[in-house]
Structure 1
Amino acid sequence: MKNTLMKWLLIGLVLSGCNHVTQSPPAQPMPVQEIAQPQEVEPEQMAIVYGPAVPPKKRMVPAAPLSNGLNPKRIEIPSIDLHAVVEPVGVLANGQMDVPKAFDHVGILSPWTKPGMKGNAVMAGHFDHYTGPAIFYNLRKLQAGDHIKILEETGKHLTFEVKRVVSYKNNEAPIEEIFGTSDKAHLNLITCAGKFNKKKQEHARRLVVFSELVQEENVQLEKAQ
């Protein structure tokens, strides 16, 4: 299953949703995309790395992958005050990763690597819509050292630490690094970035938050066999 999905993802863009409208626009839509990108960023740059590394608020250490990952129901990112429902999404016929219809929900690629397991779990969300910012609008404010919490319905949770935040031109995003194999437990968050092209109805770039599973010192997690 993964091999088949990987082939589709290599053909398509990193995610859809950036150029798919799920509701009709109002008579005079607000052009939030005009203020979405920092002024100092040049659109022709191949890859843009956001924010300096900052010391984590708690002493966290890398954690070994788990034998069974979580079935996420919620995502929380305290540094940008993000709290959202997580729902499974698949791959569209054109090879693009889908996103939730609701602008305040986050989608996790499924079936795929679960958060906490060895490999790359991938979540996607909308950047904006016709009336203002959507759930992943502030991802570009994240910095290395920030924490992402993924929660199950049972209350069990995992913490991932942001390693870097990078935006790429649409056709230059590193698909293998985002979706491919890894010996570590990674969680990658994806959304749109850059200027909005009204003719193509899409943003110029894709933004990716790369993070890794961590734990507080002296806390033992179930390791993968």
Structure 2
Amino acid sequence: MHDPAPTMDKSEPPQPHRISAGKLMMIAVAAILLGVLMIKHDLSTDSGPPPQPVPAAAQPGASPPVAPSASPDPDGAPVMRRSQPVRIKIPRIKVDAPFIGLSLNASGVLEVPPAADRNLAGWYEDGVTPGARGNAIVLGHVDTMMGPAVFWGLGSLKPGDTVEIARADGSVARFAVDSVESFPKDAFPDERVYGKTTDAQLRLITCGGVYDKKAKDYTDNVVVFAHLLPPT
């Protein structure tokens, strides 16, 4: 049995962590409104805290299969052409959700998927598309006031689990999870999560950790690190 969920004033949702547009350029990808990705749901539908990742040090490394490249690449890694994502599937945690494109608002902060739809993922549409070279950033609510949301089970993923992203050109980008980690929001590793890569990688981001009643927010962010698999 878990402790009762904290009471939250629904008129005052958690405030986002703001990162300037200048910093977005420096790290080459949008800052995420990590503070609002988890909005505490109503007590009547409390499902307890979301799954938390196993400490990174205890996670065995995943061994990606060796196969021909999806396209010519100096590093021999698969890379796909740019194409917008339309749907994400994560078989292990039964995720099957459409995408919505996210952009920066007037303050230079990335918007988040509407909380009214619990089964919706967002991606930074001015950044890398999943499967293309670089870090593709995908985010989703872990829960809302209506109950668990699309990325509720993200923290339970393990190295080797797969993520499938259907794209507008009819292709499917398949990723293998490398690690699932939790970071305090006040010590988020921007460069590691958002920094440039020479291959095609994916970052799935949501909220986790302990709910801070005073701040009306969660203390951590859960990040899934994954790489593109060769075509089958």
Normalising by the residue count of structure 2, what TM-score does the alignment of the two structures yield?
0.73
SS of residue in 1 equivalent to 2:92: helix
The Cα RMSD (Å) is 3.3
- Match status 1:73 vs 2:116: no
1:199/1:31 Cα in 2 relative to 1: closer, same or farther (>3 Å)?
A: farther
| Post-superposition offset of 1:112 | 0.5
**What is the correspondence of 1:49-198 to structure 2 with a 5 Å cutoff?**
49=56, 52-53=59-60, 60-61=65-66, 63=69, 64-66=77-79, 68-92=81-105, 96-101=109-114, 102-198=117-213
Residue number in structure 1 paired with 2:25: 6
Unaligned runs of at least 5 residues, structure 1: 42-46, 220-225
| Post-superposition offset of 1:7 | 4.6
User: Which string of whole-angstrom CA distances, capped at 9 and with x for unpartnered residues, describes residues 69-123 of structure 1?
Assistant: 3310000111111100011112345655332002210000120011122211100
1:210/1:8 Cα in 2 relative to 1: closer, same or farther (>3 Å)?
A: closer
Instruction: Identify the range of structure 1 (71-80 vs 190-199) with the bigger mean alpha-carbon deviation.
Output: 190-199
Inter-partner Cα distance in structure 2 for 1:203 and 1:161: 27
Instruction: Identify the range of structure 1 (97-106 vs 167-176) with the bigger mean alpha-carbon deviation.
Output: 97-106
| Post-superposition offset of 1:10 | 9.4
| Post-superposition offset of 1:16 | 4.0
Unaligned runs of at least 5 residues, structure 2: 1-20, 70-76
Q: Aligned pairs, how many?
A: 202
1:37/1:117 Cα in 2 relative to 1: closer, same or farther (>3 Å)?
A: closer
SS of residue in 2 equivalent to 1:182: coil
